[in-house]
Structure 1
Amino acid sequence: MFLSHLTAFACLVHLVASAQNLTVDLGYTRYKGRDLSDGIVQWLGIRYAASPVGNLRFSAPQDPQVVDGVQEALQHGPLCIPTGKYPTPAGTSEDCLFLDVYAPSTASNGTGLPVFVWIQGGGFNSNSNANYNGTGLIQASDTGIVVVTFNYRVGPYGFLSGPEIVKGGSVNNGLKDQIKVLKWVQTHISKFGGDPNHVVIGGDSAGAASVTLLLSAYGGKDESLFHAAAAESQSFAPMLTVNQSQFAYNNLVIRTGCASAKDTLACLRNLDIASLQRENINTPLPKAQQSPLYMYGPVIDDDLVLDYTYRLFHQEKFIKVPVIFGDDTNEGTIFVPKNTSSISEADTFIQSQFPEITLDQLANINNWYLTENQTCQFPHAEPYWRPTSNAYGEIRYICPGIDMSTVYSQAGVNSWNYHYDVQDPDSEASGKGVSHTVEANAIWGPQYVSGTPPSSYYTSNAPIVPVMQGYWTSFIKTFDPNPYRSRDSPEWKTWGTGDESYRRILIRTNETAMETVPMAQRERCKYLTSIGTDLEQ
């Protein structure tokens, strides 16, 4: 009888504490979250910056306006508007600067849990990994972390550039949105139970590109906004300067009928969203034959982004914190057109993504990847699809990750690298293979992502989920993937230097183990890295 009363009292105390923590005062407003009854509390749709509309279109993020009363934080905020979609897709808005917080229900102001801030991908032209649910990661951490996800501006809304924008607005606003979030975390995350002095950033694809850009922001100036970083399929796209980006500004001005305006930027700002979005399309980059996969992106602005990413890291202009980099076996398959049937079509695709590539460089890449004996047959695909995918995957994703791990290890900073090779039967049969960012399903848990995971992640590949979550939550908690790794998972050794360099972990269901990067891949990556700045990466 006494024990039952104690149990009831403990439950009551928990409920009261949890209820007290549901309403959080941010100074500019108060938000009331929701207890999910599974040990997790979530706050959805928290505004972290002012609505970037009207005169704030194409401007750096500003502080949110003060709103009296308590707002219900029960729904995700709208996603930011993508490029190439008209009419404006449902669920998107120009007013999109919102974040979500997930925390253990036992956490409260001052608990001081490690914080994971997730930066979604989408090629800087869409929010493609939106609204991931932090429940799985928190449960895998033994309710020992707080998770933050958010939207940031993309396409022209986040990355339109040119002298007019510099003079009357701001460039690289999508990146500045991310920094705004990190500063918000420094100010407010303790109210949700998080520790602002223990923040790990992570992301995939453009989100992982954002990680490298934040690591090298302002030439590697450390403002203590984060303390470790994990990049999944870090993306090294070409970056233009502000002046090189003028073509995109001019084209948008012309297409929207603003060319005759005395103030073309004011004209663009005064357009209704439908008129602007109608002309938010991809066009070829200068010197390219076809439109790229992603037209808009960060630019070299001599401030936030001082130079090409490769150059900044090789000049040691980066923040020195523990890092994870890594990639999937078949990074390029979801990007290259499946009807690529010849070397000429392959070269046109590559040149459209990297317009500064020379004929000699293309010839070398052809010899590495596109000889006739490397062609493959897969259902509904032409023979040069897979070889072109191999080339594109290593140019943009795999080789940059290998180089980043090398740079960090040479600087004496702990660096871990992974090769994700969890094979789904359907994906292998189709030729898609272990495709770009598929590991996000294992890190978050397949039931907590917003996309559609391979079906095997619920069946034959289900055992890989605790393995990935163990490494990631251990890294979030300790800046090291090993102390809290899943039982029976092997030690994930650092990249190493000298004779012990090029060590990475091969992640495969029931076969996870350390491996060394094969010499053939090292040679290819050595060449691709050597031409990286020529390609404006």
Structure 2
Amino acid sequence: MIRTLLSVALWASSSLAVDDVVDVGYASYRGQELENGLSQWLGLRYAAAPVGDLRFMPPQDPEVHDEIQPADKVGLSCLGTNKLPTLNTTSEDCLFMNIMAPTNATCSSNLPVFFYIQGGGFNSNSNPNVNGTGIIDAADRDLVVVTINYRVGPYGFLTNKDQVTPNNGLRDQVKALEWVQAHISKFGGNPNHVVVGGTSAGAASVIFHLTANNGSDSGLFHGAISESASLAGLLTVKESQYQYNNFATRLGCTGKDSLECLRNKTALEIQEENFNIPLPGGSKPPAYQWLPVLDYDFINDYTYHALTEGKFIKVPTIFGDDTNGGTVFTPKNASTQAESNQFILDAYPTISPEMFGEINDLYPNPNKTCPNNGCFWRQTSNTYQEIRYMCPALYANSVYAPFAKSWAYRWNVEDPAQIAQGLGVPHTSELEALIGAEYTDEEPKSYKIGQKNRPATHVIQRYWTSFMRTLDPNTFRQEGAVEWTSWGKDNQARVVMNTGGKTNMEDIDEGLRERCEYWYKHSMEMNL
């Protein structure tokens, strides 16, 4: 049932508002009532500190505290690959969440819940402290927002035969989702109406949760938003052993007690050797090396095959991408076809020379100035973005449509500064619009109040929060925005959110269909 602002207000008046101090069983946390009519609880520990003997272990229950714990500061974010620890921002002790809700919410408000998983390529926490104010305001104060940190790099994705449980970074996310089921009603949220969403690796995480355990639904969420999901090849536990062997050797942890040795290293010692190495068959390190693995426990199948076989949770979904999702990752100085192919090979090292002959025909170089430095940058980015982002999203829409409503989108809002850099509409640029100009330091200038793309932020905020509230992006969509038609057998179109806030529905053109069909056909060869 759709709630109006009046009904929310009536519910709020029927019982006492949520207190600043909330008891979650193992601890009581004192949050903050803000002047803007929202309350927040920052740095809530949802799992035990994953240090010492708990390093490389699945998340465990938090310790019990008798004293009231302050929840007025965000927790430190998780240590990332290729980054030294900093005292002010990062720590191995990082399994914290933040909650924001209307101050007048009560334990019986049953507000929809948005559970956000940040990206970072599974190698860093890229947006550890998203401010949910703009999202809640766009939802007419009819929403609770939850954000989390989770382990990344070797801390979250190390494997070692049967001695280390794989995919602990994803298991952290499950632990947080279970926490929401147990406790979110105490903050005014409805555990029976949770929408899980994420960006980039967070969006890939959403797909992993949809397909986890062969699609068995344990009731942790009821709708899903996957923004610019990053689909990398999956290694098995056995295939990923080279990562452990190399990592342990660099840290001097050899012999039969190597794992114990790694657990006894300091975080600084770990971080000094926490850098990427090439994938098997690659020549240079990929952008992201530590990734989820096919463990036949949490992840039971390659992603495309799991989707093809219908082994996913059937809930309403949104899948989509940005127009130019590859530009920020591919080398700007790529000047030959060979350099372009090598970059793609380093990310997907099972691609054969025969396949590259076909790929190069599918992706001709649009730049006619060669030989010039960087003249193959756009050709490389076009190839990379469709392998990793756009084609997986469209495939997910297609397989979901027979079972549950699924909506496809393309974010096509051009920021002049990004255009001037040659980035086009780059990867995850829709996230800054969703958060809102007032609440992120990353906002492009054209998204800010009074600028030409400010209306576009209202469009995505209203589509997204409508879905969060009603599992349909149209219910509360922005006035003047096009009705967003769900994907189906007779309607394979996506909404396009354009510069200045204009919207339209577009059919998928034959060229993109052909290219995506190629990746679908070869997905098993590429471990996708």
TM range (shorter): over 0.9
2:123 & 2:287 partners in 1: Cα distance?
A: 9
Match of 1:280 among 261, 274, 278: 274
Letter of the 1:348 counterpart: Q
1:495 & 1:131 partners in 2: Cα distance?
A: 33
Corresponding position: 1:506 with 2:496: yes
Q: Report the counterpart of residue 327 of structure 2 in structure 1.
A: 333
1:381 & 1:328 partners in 2: Cα distance?
A: 26
Match of 1:419 among 410, 414, 419: 410
2:87 & 2:70 partners in 1: Cα distance?
A: 24
CA contact (8 A) 1:370 1:388 kept: no
Q: How does 1:286-305 map to 2 (within 5 A)?
A: 286-305=280-299
Q: How does 1:92-107 map to 2 (within 5 A)?
A: 92-107=90-105
CA contact (8 A) 1:376 1:384 kept: no
CA contact (8 A) 2:459 2:501 kept: no
Q: Report the counterpart of residue 221 of structure 1 in structure 2.
A: 216
1:307 & 1:251 partners in 2: Cα distance?
A: 26
Q: Report the counterpart of residue 172 of structure 2 in structure 1.
A: 177
Q: Report the counterpart of residue 387 of structure 1 in structure 2.
A: 379
Q: Report the counterpart of residue 3 of structure 2 in structure 1.
A: none
Letter of the 2:282 counterpart: A
Match of 1:153 among 129, 138, 151: 151
CA contact (8 A) 1:81 1:89 kept: no
1:376 & 1:85 partners in 2: Cα distance?
A: 38
Q: Report the counterpart of residue 236 of structure 1 in structure 2.
A: 231
Query: For each residue in 1:250-290, what CA deviation from the matched residue of structure 2 results, as whole angstroms up to 9, or x when unmatched?
Result: 00111000113x31111110111111111111000111111
**Structure 1 residue 511 displacement after superposition:** 2.4
- Over 3 Å counting, the alpha-carbon distance change for 1:77 and 1:269 in structure 2 is same
CA contact (8 A) 1:88 1:277 kept: no
1:476 & 1:412 partners in 2: Cα distance?
A: 19
Letter of the 2:273 counterpart: E
Q: Report the counterpart of residue 358 of structure 2 in structure 1.
A: 364
- Over 3 Å counting, the alpha-carbon distance change for 1:222 and 1:249 in structure 2 is same
Q: How does 1:115-514 map to 2 (within 5 A)?
A: 115-163=113-161, 166-167=162-163, 169-260=164-255, 262-371=256-365, 374-375=366-367, 382-409=374-401, 411-449=402-440, 451-458=441-448, 459-497=451-489, 500-508=490-498, 509-514=500-505
Q: Percent identity?
A: 49
**Structure 1 residue 87 displacement after superposition:** 5.0
Q: Please state whether the residue corresponding to 2:91 is helix, strand or coil.
A: coil
Deviating more after overlay: 382-391 vs 451-460:
451-460
Q: Report the counterpart of residue 80 of structure 1 in structure 2.
A: 78
1:130 & 1:98 partners in 2: Cα distance?
A: 10
**Structure 1 residue 510 displacement after superposition:** 3.7
2:509 & 2:364 partners in 1: Cα distance?
A: 19
Q: Please state whether the residue corresponding to 2:236 is helix, strand or coil.
A: coil
- Over 3 Å counting, the alpha-carbon distance change for 1:98 and 1:376 in structure 2 is farther
Q: Please state whether the residue corresponding to 1:82 is helix, strand or coil.
A: coil
Corresponding position: 1:67 with 2:65: yes
CA RMSD of aligned residues (A): 1.7
**Structure 1 residue 29 displacement after superposition:** 0.4
Deviating more after overlay: 419-428 vs 119-128:
419-428
Q: Please state whether the residue corresponding to 1:397 is helix, strand or coil.
A: helix
CA contact (8 A) 1:87 1:278 kept: no
**Structure 1 residue 360 displacement after superposition:** 1.4
**Structure 1 residue 506 displacement after superposition:** 0.8
**Structure 1 residue 381 displacement after superposition:** 6.4
Query: For structure 1, which runs of at least 5 residues remain unmatched after alignment?
Result: 1-9
1:252 & 1:89 partners in 2: Cα distance?
A: 24
Q: Report the counterpart of residue 6 of structure 1 in structure 2.
A: none
**Structure 1 residue 413 displacement after superposition:** 1.4
1:75 & 1:369 partners in 2: Cα distance?
A: 48
Q: Please state whether the residue corresponding to 2:78 is helix, strand or coil.
A: coil
Q: Please state whether the residue corresponding to 1:43 is helix, strand or coil.
A: strand
**Structure 1 residue 293 displacement after superposition:** 0.5
1:381 & 1:35 partners in 2: Cα distance?
A: 55
Letter of the 2:502 counterpart: E
- Over 3 Å counting, the alpha-carbon distance change for 1:421 and 1:376 in structure 2 is farther
Match of 2:106 among 90, 108, 116: 108
CA contact (8 A) 1:490 1:512 kept: yes
Query: For each residue in 1:111-169, what CA deviation from the matched residue of structure 2 results, as whole angstroms up to 9, or x when unmatched?
Result: 10000000000000000022111111111111101000010000000000120xx32x3
Letter of the 2:71 counterpart: A
Query: For structure 2, which runs of at least 5 residues remain unmatched after alignment?
Result: 1-8
TM-score, L = length of structure 2: 0.95
Q: Please state whether the residue corresponding to 1:439 is helix, strand or coil.
A: helix
Match of 1:521 among 512, 515, 525: 512
Letter of the 1:290 counterpart: K
CA contact (8 A) 1:45 1:100 kept: yes
Letter of the 2:157 counterpart: F
- Over 3 Å counting, the alpha-carbon distance change for 1:360 and 1:293 in structure 2 is same
CA contact (8 A) 2:454 2:501 kept: no
CA contact (8 A) 2:414 2:424 kept: yes
Runs of 4+ in structure 1 deviating by more than 6 angstroms, as ranges, are none
**Structure 1 residue 90 displacement after superposition:** 4.3
**Structure 1 residue 183 displacement after superposition:** 0.1
Letter of the 1:47 counterpart: R
Query: For each residue in 1:302-351, what CA deviation from the matched residue of structure 2 results, as whole angstroms up to 9, or x when unmatched?
Result: 11000110010101100000000001000000000111111111111000
1:145 & 1:391 partners in 2: Cα distance?
A: 38
1:305 & 1:490 partners in 2: Cα distance?
A: 37
2:406 & 2:213 partners in 1: Cα distance?
A: 22
2:327 & 2:174 partners in 1: Cα distance?
A: 32
**Structure 1 residue 447 displacement after superposition:** 2.3
**Structure 1 residue 452 displacement after superposition:** 1.5
CA contact (8 A) 1:200 1:476 kept: yes
1:395 & 1:126 partners in 2: Cα distance?
A: 22
- Over 3 Å counting, the alpha-carbon distance change for 1:198 and 1:453 in structure 2 is same
Letter of the 1:314 counterpart: T
2:126 & 2:297 partners in 1: Cα distance?
A: 27
Q: Report the counterpart of residue 27 of structure 1 in structure 2.
A: 25
**Structure 1 residue 88 displacement after superposition:** 4.9
Q: Please state whether the residue corresponding to 1:24 is helix, strand or coil.
A: strand
